[in-house]
Amino acid sequence: MRAEVRSDKAGPFLPVIENATGQSPVLLVCEHASNALPAPWGNLGLSPDQTRAHIAWDPGALGLARGLAQRLDATLIHAPVSRLIYDCNRAPDMPGAMPIRSEVHDIPGNAAISAAERLARTQAVYLPWANGLHNLIAARIAQGRRPVIVTIHSFTPIYHGRPRAVEFGIIHDADPTLARSILAASPQTGLNAQLNEPYSAADDVTHTLRLHATPYGLQNAMLEIRNDLIADPQAEAAMADRLAPVLAAALHAAKAAA
């Protein structure tokens, strides 16, 4: 099965901003919120099961991010398109931006895309996302409200056939300050929390932080929750109840250290 690709009229697919007037310094970011596979790309030759699986998005991440936004009074920005069309946490020249394979799944619609198609997807999905996020951050900096960038992700409990013990991963890019504060506050969650697991900046997963937080010297961290722990709305809300106080405590610690 081969997906038909006609992206000349695609997009732009604008990021979604929720609780725009949130007063928390935390700015929540969810690049993998959606498994939407809009026209002109369609299902990329994947089965319905595959488009519901973790390869297409981060199941539970948006619900958790919304729960945190509400509890912290934080603004949330999330991407409206599946990462299989364009992964907004990857630069346009990274193989993972438009992956030809994800874990054990080939992505037929990404198998032989041209430079023109890569540009079209970049213009339709990535640039609206990156510009929207940058606009939010620059506006807050201009107002003297330096945001704290926290990206929300989920990961699969079994990867390449191997179970993962970590439940709550806290990943940092160049500046580990916030990630370490979050780890220090995380025993109260009862979760198996680990720094730079199940992957780290060395795996090129911190593009958003590197592009949007580090140049401004903004505190930042990437949070990864094992997706079996946020598998339905009740579990997402319960996890938001566990993690909101951790973020609040980490912010407090960072403020005291500044």
Residues near Zn ion (CB under 5 A) are 32, 58, 153
Pick the closer one to Zn ion by CB: 58 or 167: 58
Name the residue nearer to Zn ion (CB basis): 32 or 212. 32
**Residue number closest to Zn ion, CB atom:** 153
Nearer to Zn ion, 2 or 101 (CB): 101
Find the shortest distance in angstroms from Cβ 83 to Zn ion. Answer: 7
* Structure token pair of residue 5: 């690709």
| Dist. CA 254–CA 258, nearest whole Å | 6
Q: How many residues does the chain have?
A: 258
Q: Which CB, 78 or 153, lies closer to Zn ion?
A: 153
Least CB distance from residue 34 to Zn ion, whole Å? 11
* Closest distance to Zn ion from the beta carbon of 222 (Å): 8
Residue 193 carries which side chain, given as an amino acid letter?
A
**44 φψ region: left (φ > 0), alpha (ψ -120 to 50), beta (else):** left
| Least distance in angstroms from the C-beta of 76 to Zn ion | 15
- Rounded distance between C-alpha atoms, residue 30 and residue 166, angstroms: 20
Task: Return the biggest CA–CA distance within the chain.
Answer: 57
DSSP helix/strand/coil, 220: strand
For residues 222 and 28, the answer to whether their CB atoms sit within 8 Å is no
Look at residues 79, 71, 78 and name the one whose alpha carbon lies nearest to residue 237.
Answer: 71
Q: Which is nearer to Zn ion, 58 or 236 (CB)?
A: 58
Residue closer to Zn ion by CB (options 5, 171) is 171
Question: DSSP 3-state assignment of 34?
Answer: coil
- The partner residues of 163 in beta bridges, in order of sequence, read 158
Nearest approach, Cβ of residue 30 and Zn ion (Å): 8
Torsion sign, CA atoms 13, 36, 69, 202: negative
Closest separation in Å from C-beta 209 to Zn ion = 13
Q: Find the shortest distance in angstroms from Cβ 257 to Zn ion.
A: 28
Closer CB to Zn ion, residue 7 or residue 13?
Answer: 13
Give the tokens for residue 33. 């919120």
40 upstream amide cis, omega within 30 of 0: yes
